[in-house]
C-alpha cells in the first residue's frame, strides 16, 4: 500500500486546527468501495473514505463533516475547483481545475486537491456543484 501524508488546516467552530490527511492507494485485494482511501485525522476523531478516486473520497469525508460546520482549507473544497472526467480517470482525481466564468480551463489551471493558496474560497459540496454547473453554462 502506498501512503502519502498531507498536513492541512481545517476550520471548526471558527478555530483553525492542523490535521493530517492520509492518502492511501490500496491493492485490489484490500479494496471494498474503491482503491483510493483518505483518512482525515483530527484531534477529536478520524474520518475514513474509500472510493474509486481521491476526489470522490474527499467528497465522502466532506459529506460526513459538513453538518458539523467543519471546512477543509484545501483546493478540493474550494468553490471554483472541480476535476475533469479525464483527471479523475487518468490521475485518480488528485488534480482538479480552477474554473473561471467564461473561460475554458487549461493545464495552467490544474491544482492538487490537497494544496491551498491565497485564492482558496471555502464552499459546501452543493455550492461547489452549483459553481461548476454555472461555469459549464458560461462557456
Residue range 45-92, pLDDT digits in tens? 999 999 999 999 999 999 999 999 999 999 999 999 999 999 999 999
- Rounded distance, CA 134 to CA 101, Å? 8
**pTM value?**
0.95
What integer pLDDT is reported at residue 28 of this predicted model?
76
pLDDT of residue 78: 98
Count of the separate structural domains present in the chain: 1
- The residue range of the domain holding 22 is 2-138
pLDDT at position 2 is: 84
The edge-to-edge listing of strands for the beta sheet with 36-41 is: 46-51, 36-41, 15-25, 2-12, 71-72
Amino acid at each position: 500500500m502506498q501512503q502519502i501524508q498531507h498536513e492541512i488546516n481545517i476550520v471548526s467552530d471558527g478555530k483553525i486546527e492542523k490535521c493530517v490527511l492520509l492518502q492511501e492507494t490500496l491493492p485490489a485485494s484490500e479494496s471494498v468501495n474503491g482503491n483510493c482511501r483518505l483518512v482525515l485525522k483530527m484531534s477529536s476523531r478520524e474520518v475514513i473514505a474509500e472510493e474509486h478516486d481521491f476526489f470522490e473520497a474527499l467528497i465522502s469525508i466532506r459529506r460526513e463533516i459538513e453538518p458539523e460546520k467543519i471546512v477543509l482549507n484545501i483546493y478540493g473544497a474550494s468553490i471554483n475547483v472541480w476535476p475533469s472526467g479525464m483527471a479523475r480517470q487518468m490521475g485518480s482525481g488528485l488534480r482538479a481545475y480552477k474554473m473561471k466564468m467564461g473561460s475554458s480551463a487549461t493545464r495552467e489551471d490544474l491544482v492538487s486537491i490537497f494544496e491551498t493558496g491565497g485564492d482558496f474560497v471555502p464552499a459546501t459540496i452543493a455550492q461547489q456543484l452549483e459553481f461548476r454547473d454555472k461555469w459549464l453554462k458560461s462557456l
